[in-house]
């Protein structure tokens, strides 16, 4: 009997536990010995056990109203039962710790501070059912939680496209529900100045509007010739700040200087080096029209602007941009050149540094801390500045080593304007950052010592809006990636577990539906992978996978000539083929993939490399990618490519048995603007025993295969079992080229032996 009872208890525990799908994963979740559920009804009171808890109660009620259509009575009389909001002293590193206990007759949420209780309420909301009509049962549970990082942010660019106050609030709610605490508001850029400045009304009257917008992906297919724009009044900015504060979110304003200034210069042309005329830009990119660094009027203007901006935003941080400032106009400007001379500056980079340091003094004088993009490292870092590392992690690493605080926002992991699916059908800026990549991001680079790592305040995802015109597209781009990021930023590192996240994500998808929010379904895409057979017999295994429930995978062979088959296990490919596949869900066909295979003597054979590739350039399926029969058809840095920055490539292929060969061809990427160079030469060496190798020759004769791909073929008439292919890296990039002085990249995706 007793045994039976235990089993029954365990079963109901398991059922209740499957209802618990909290993101970000809390530090500790326990189910109490006795399983059960607390039911929230219209008569359940919210009991405030301390002052300052109204924000939490109001958020809870607003959510209940919006999602389930009712609110609860709030009382500060200590009555038994109901939802109790309280404080409790706790151990934590950063503010925001809370406990949540639900049991017989009550839910108890206590934070170490107001924000902690608020985060406890966010967790409670995730314990509620994801169906509108269901009764609001909260499983008995015992949660202890606190954040890992002190800075957990999302940025929104409102210059390239403008979003109404109502949506900015919604965006802030999304942050709140993910326990994030910084909203970075990118308010000015070349395409529009979006914040009212009373002393300079033309900033918004003129700079707030452009006379057209490029159509399609840059360079585009034309211009729509529609006047476009908008701005926020100072009153509206205050409203946003107050709204965010009630959600324990700090708003950081960004006022770009000295670059990305076209909109401001159009309003006040005397602030540029040439005096104009300028225009509010109608296309995307980086523009040469920047604030003049030799003219004191510019500094007075910037200070006046900050005098009005700073009082609106209680944040201790003020973001001044400072990214992507071309130096062309400064080079030609007598005032800028005089400034360089007068201050003994080395060049225009030091002039940029002068500009930022001068503004930093002003900002510090107002009791605030300057934040800038990682370009503020060039020409000398302003003394107290916080660096936002966006061009990869390098800027963040360097700044932390210089003992500066850092917010990580690398393009490689958290640029949410990049595509999250390979079959994106809307226009995006490009790139590819799938959900799992975001989930796998570690904000503290391993290049840092434990001590240096402390300078990493946290991380933030950026949403640049060149190709994001509407709120629904914003949601589509941030979800579910922002949900993954929230776990990176909040949960203990050792609690991060992709499989567990995937399971909880299924409920999160339903939660987005409950909110009426758009989100990307790329997670369900059909994904293909190529692997060797266990004995490397010269054939290949092609596997197709999807996470989509109730779906079928369909495929065809021979360039779509074969009949359509239903996929059940990896396909064994033995010769040239072209496989097409897609998903079928509810009769709809989705997510097509297509793979061409070309076979040669090396295909499907064992291959090894002597020097490892760069960590983020291991290729799809690792080293085997060199002989997997799949040659990149697109000269973009997709997964197929293996890359080395600096080292040479040396690959050894085992053909399985001694045989006659005639030549070896290496397929390469040639994209110098991205620091990718062809090798100096390729040499082939052959062996029968894998020990004694003999050179068959070298070649540097590259044959162009597309605008940025090429191949080099080396004659290799021999009898051999082992083929060693050596490609000499280009070395250091010469002056006058992008990346001058840095090590060149070598990219290879396929080696064929004929």
| Site for ligand TNX, rule CB under 6 A | 323-324, 373, 390, 415, 417, 429, 464, 466
Q: The tokens 């949420």 sit on which residue?
A: 109
Least spacing, CB of residue 376 vs ligand TNX, in Å: 11
Q: By Cβ distance, which residue is nearest to ligand TNX?
A: 464
How far apart CA 753 and CA 246 sit, in angstroms, is 66
**Number of H helices and number of E strands within the chain?**
18, 36
Angle at Cα 211 formed by Cα 205 and Cα 212, nearest 5°? Answer: 140
Least spacing, CB of residue 255 vs ligand TNX, in Å: 14
Strands 588-597 and 565-566 turn out to be unpaired
How far apart CA 279 and CA 147 sit, in angstroms, is 45
Question: Do residues 665 and 602 touch, judged by C-beta distance below 8 A?
Answer: no
Structure tokens at 50: 């301390």
Structure tokens at 304: 């006046």
Task: For residue 726, give every residue at least 6 positions away whose Cβ sits within 8 Å of its Cβ, in sequence order, or none.
Answer: 648, 649, 650, 682, 683, 684, 685
Coil, strand or helix at 643: strand
Structure tokens at 679: 């090798």
Whether the ω angle into residue 192 lies within 30 degrees of 0, i.e. cis, is no
| 260 carries an active-site annotation | yes
Annotated catalytic residue: which of 112, 173, 189, 360? 189
* Nearer CB in complex with ligand TNX: 200/415: 415
Annotated catalytic residue: which of 84, 161, 184, 260? 260
| 189 carries an active-site annotation | yes
Whether the ω angle into residue 459 lies within 30 degrees of 0, i.e. cis, is no
Question: Do residues 187 and 156 touch, judged by C-beta distance below 8 A?
Answer: no
How far apart CA 390 and CA 323 sit, in angstroms, is 10
Least spacing, CB of residue 185 vs ligand TNX, in Å: 14
Report the chain's C-alpha Rg in angstroms. 29
| 452 carries an active-site annotation | no
The continuous run of DSSP H or E covering 552 comes out as strand 551-556
* Nearer CB in complex with ligand TNX: 63/317: 317
Least spacing, CB of residue 282 vs ligand TNX, in Å: 15
Q: Which of 73, 46, 324, 75 is nearest to 186 (CA)?
A: 324
How far apart CA 468 and CA 171 sit, in angstroms, is 14
Residues identified as active-site: 189, 260, 324
């Amino acid at each position: 009997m007793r045994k039976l009872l235990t089993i029954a208890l365990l079963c109901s525990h398991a059922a209740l536990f499957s209802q618990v799908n909290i993101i970000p994963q809390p530090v500790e979740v326990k189910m109490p010995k006795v399983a059960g559920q607390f039911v929230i009804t219209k008569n359940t009171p919210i009991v405030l056990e301390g002052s300052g808890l109204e924000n939490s109660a109001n958020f809870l009620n607003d959510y209940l109203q919006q999602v389930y259509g009712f609110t609860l009575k709030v009382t500060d009389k200590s009555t038994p039962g109901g939802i109790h909001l309280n404080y409790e002293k706790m151990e934590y590193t950063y503010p925001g710790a809370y406990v949540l206990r639900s049991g017989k007759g009550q839910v108890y949420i206590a934070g170490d501070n107001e924000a902690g209780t608020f985060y406890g309420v966010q967790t409670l909301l995730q314990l509620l059912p994801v169906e509108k009509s269901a009764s609001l049962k909260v499983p008995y549970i015992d949660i202890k939680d606190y954040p890992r990082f002190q800075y957990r942010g999302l940025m929104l660019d409102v210059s390239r496209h403008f979003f109404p106050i109502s949506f900015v609030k919604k965006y802030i709610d999304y942050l709140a529900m993910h326990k994030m605490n910084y909203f970075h508001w990118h308010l000015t850029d070349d395409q529009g100045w979006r914040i009212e400045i009373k002393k300079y009304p033309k900033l918004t009257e003129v700079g707030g509007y452009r006379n057209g917008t490029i159509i399609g992906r840059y360079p585009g297919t034309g211009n729509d010739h529609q006047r476009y724009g908008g701005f926020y009044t100072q009153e509206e900015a205050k409203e946003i700040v107050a709204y965010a504060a009630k959600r324990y979110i700090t708003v950081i304003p960004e006022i770009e200087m000295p670059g990305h200034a076209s909109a401001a210069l159009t309003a006040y042309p005397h602030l540029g080096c040439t005096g104009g005329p300028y225009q509010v830009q109608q296309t995307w990119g980086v523009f040469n029209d920047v604030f003049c660094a030799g003219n004191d009027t510019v500094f007075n203007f910037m200070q006046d602007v900050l005098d009005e901006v700073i009082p609106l935003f209680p944040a201790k941080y003020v973001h001044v941009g400072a990214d992507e400032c071309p130096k062309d106009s400064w080079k030609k400007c007598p005032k800028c050149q005089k400034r360089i001379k007068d201050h003994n500056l080395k060049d225009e980079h030091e002039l940029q540094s002068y500009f930022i340091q001068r503004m930093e003094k002003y900002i510090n004088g107002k009791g605030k801390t300057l934040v800038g993009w990682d370009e503020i490292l060039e020409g000398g870092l302003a003394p107290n500045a916080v660096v936002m590392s966006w061009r990869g992690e390098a800027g963040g690493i360097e700044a932390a080593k210089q003992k500066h605080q850092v917010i990580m926002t690398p393009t490689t992991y958290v640029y949410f304007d990049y595509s999250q699916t390979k079959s994106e059908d809307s226009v995006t800026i490009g790139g590819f950052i799938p959900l799992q990549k975001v989930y796998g991001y570690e904000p503290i680079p391993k290049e840092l010592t434990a001590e240096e790592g402390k300078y990493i305040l946290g991380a933030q995802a950026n949403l640049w809006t060149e190709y994001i015109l509407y709120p629904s597209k914003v949601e589509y781009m941030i979800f579910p990636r922002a949900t993954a990021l929230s776990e990176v930023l909040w949960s203990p590192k050792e609690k991060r577990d992709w499989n567990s996240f995937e399971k909880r994500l299924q409920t999160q998808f339903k939660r987005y539906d409950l909110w009426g929010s758009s989100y990307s379904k790329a997670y369900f895409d059909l994904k293909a992978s190529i692997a060797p057979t266990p004995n490397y017999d010269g054939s290949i295994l092609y596997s197709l996978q999807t996470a989509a429930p109730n779906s079928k995978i369909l495929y065809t062979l021979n360039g779509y000539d074969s009949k359509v088959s239903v996929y059940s296990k990896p396909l064994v490919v033995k010769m040239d083929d072209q496989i097409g596949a897609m998903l079928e869900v509810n009769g709809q066909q989705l997510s097509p993939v297509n793979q061409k295979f070309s076979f040669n003597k090396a295909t499907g054979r064992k291959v090894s490399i002597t020097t490892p590739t760069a960590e983020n350039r291991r290729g799809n399926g690792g080293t085997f990618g060199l002989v997997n029969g799949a040659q990149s058809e697109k000269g973009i840095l997709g997964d197929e490519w293996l890359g080395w920055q600096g080292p040479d490539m040396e690959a050894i292929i085992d053909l399985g048995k001694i045989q006659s060969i005639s030549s070896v061809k290496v397929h390469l990427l040639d994209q110098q603007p991205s620091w990718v160079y062809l090798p100096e030469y390729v040499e082939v060496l052959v062996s029968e025993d894998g020990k004694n190798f003999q050179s068959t020759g070298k070649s540097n004769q590259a044959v162009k295969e597309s605008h940025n791909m090429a191949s080099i073929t080396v004659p290799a008439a021999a009898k051999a079992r082992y083929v060693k292919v050596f490609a000499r890296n280009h070395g250091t990039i010469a002056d006058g080229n992008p990346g001058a002085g840095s090590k060149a990249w070598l990219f290879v995706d396929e080696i064929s032996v004929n």
